[in-house]
Amino acid sequence: MNERTLACDAAARVLTLVKERIGEAHFDSWFSNVTCIPSDDGLEVRAPMPFILEWIRTKYHSVLVQAVAEVTDIGSDLRYVVDPQTSSETGERDGRIPSRPDLPPAPTETPFERNARYLRRYSDIQLHEEYRFENFVVGSGNQLPNAAALSVAEDPGATYNPLFLHGAVGLGKTHLMQAICHGLLAHEREIRVVYLTCETFVNQFIAAIEAGKLEDFRQRYRRVDVLLVDDVQFLARKERTQEEFFHTFNTLHENRRQIVLSSDCSPKEIPNLEQRLVSRFKMGLVAQLHPPDFETRVAIVKKKSRLKGTELGHEVAALIAARITSNIRELEGAVTKVLGYGTLLGRDIDLDLAREALYDGVRGETPRIGCDRIIELTAAHFGIGKTELQSRRRTKSIVHPRQVGMFLARKLTRHSLHEIGTFFGNRDHSTVLHAADKIGRALADGDEELKSHVAQLEALLKGDR
């Protein structure tokens, strides 16, 4: 085997390492038409379009450098070159992406396989196999978003367009977005689905400006059947990207193409978002995901453990649900930890083992106090119902206990102001801040009755632990 052959093999190993590092979905999106050619002092990275080349240089240069360093048969220098041969072969000598990006059909390929291949090729998020509708636990806090997502997956562009999902971190937005993708892939007809993060949209837009390939960028996203964009709050304060997204949105909507967006807040709460975009985002259905109640959390714990191959008893599931109240992601983490303890220690999963797993068996360590428990105890202490405490009523007999609850949540939990506001009836973070400051000032001014109320509630909450 001559030196040239060895160098070519090394270059091929570089691409293999890159694929391992960035994942198959990202690799298929950006490296499917890329070749690496050994040169006298390093490696030439060749792509058919300047746009793709610039994106690779901007996003994956460090990954390539590390891969080259591990393959010692070639030099360390990297050069990025537009490959005229592959550009000609793909009909893209001028750097344009086809007006409606297509993939050549493969023999005996089913619609599902073709749809899935298209999604992998043009999206930047790899679908999680478990994030399907059948694995999404529906409760009072997410019934509407789930129903709307199902409707979109069954008949895109017909009813809720756009569908705007929002809620605090870890409440299931990503699960529903990916469930929609899984549902769309199963269609018996060809459907072009692109699913990406808003950050990717922004970065690709910037790269297109720098490379002078804006028209290519526009055609990529304005000719799809379904566009899903995660974390759209990333558009905040990005004026030129907002303008581009506005026109992309209009083009898709006018052609009855489905748009699905997700955010950690509602359209009107995204800072410095153009009013015309706020208006567009509210044209269809804005659906909020609320924190799950206790019963739903128990069901989620059981579902997550079942998916991991273990059926947890009700008492253990209830313990996890009582201790972890913030979000579904932490619930899943707690389930994984409890199951891991049982496996590693070779013990049955009972309440004692679950307590050890959740609190690491460290003496004096205590579980977190949750907003659900604060609301429950505060309402009972002041003789009102939980629903009243979380309602929009503004009578003094309701407002004062509500403000005490918010003060305690601010003091005793790790939740953000936005998350606390969500628990207390979807209130704005400024309302939570005002309530906590008001109670704090009253305590500092020596309000003995209030001190007594707060002290009793704190004792009850800490006694839980």
The model's pLDDT over 260-311, given as tens digits with 9 standing for 90+, comes to 999 988 998 888 899 999 999 998 899 999 888 888 888 999 999 988 888 8
Q: What percent of the chain has pLDDT over 70?
A: 86
Q: How far apart are CA 167 and CA 288, in angstroms?
A: 6
pLDDT for 76 equals 67
CATH class, range 294-359:
mainly alpha
Q: Where are the domains of the chain?
A: 3-89, 111-288, 294-359, 371-464
CB 253 within 8 A of CB 259: yes
Q: What is the predicted pLDDT for the residue at 93? A: 32
Please state the separation of Cα 221 from the chain's center in Å.
20
More confident residue, 50 or 261: 261
Torsion of the alpha carbons at 295, 298, 304 and 308, rounded to the nearest 10: -150
As given in the structure block, the two tokens for residue 213 are 């390939």
pLDDT digits (tens, 9 = 90+) for 314-356: 888 888 888 887 678 888 888 988 998 888 888 888 888 888 8
| Each residue's pLDDT tens digit, 146-156 | 999 999 999 89
What b-and-e string marks burial along 261-287, b requiring 16 or more CB atoms within 10 Å of the CB? bbbbbbbeebeebeeebeebbeebbbb
User: Is pLDDT above 80 for 90?
Assistant: no
Range 413-421, long-range pairs (CB < 8 A, 24+ positions):
413/326, 413/368, 413/369, 413/370, 413/371, 413/374, 414/326, 414/368, 415/326, 415/371, 416/168, 418/168, 418/264, 418/265, 419/168, 419/169, 419/291, 419/326, 419/371, 420/371
Question: What is the rounded CA–CA span in Å between residue 122 and residue 101?
Answer: 9
pLDDT one-digit tens code per residue, 154-206: 989 888 899 999 988 888 999 999 999 999 988 777 888 999 999 889 998 99
CATH code at 111-288: 3.40.50.300
The structure's pTM equals: 0.57
Question: Distance of alpha carbon 445 from its chain centroid, rounded?
Answer: 44
- What's the start-to-end Cα distance of the chain, in Å? 69
Taking a C-beta distance cutoff of 8 angstroms, is the pair 406, 416 a contact?
no
Written as one string, the DSSP assignment of 213-259 is -HHHHHHHHHT-SEEEEE-GGGGTT-HHHHHHHHHHHHHHHHTT-EE
Please say whether the structural domain 3-89 has been given the CATH code 1.10.10.10.
Answer: no
SS3 163: strand
Q: Which CATH architecture is the domain 371-464 placed in?
A: Orthogonal Bundle (1.10)
- State the Rg of the chain over Cα: 27
Average pLDDT over residues 207-214: 88
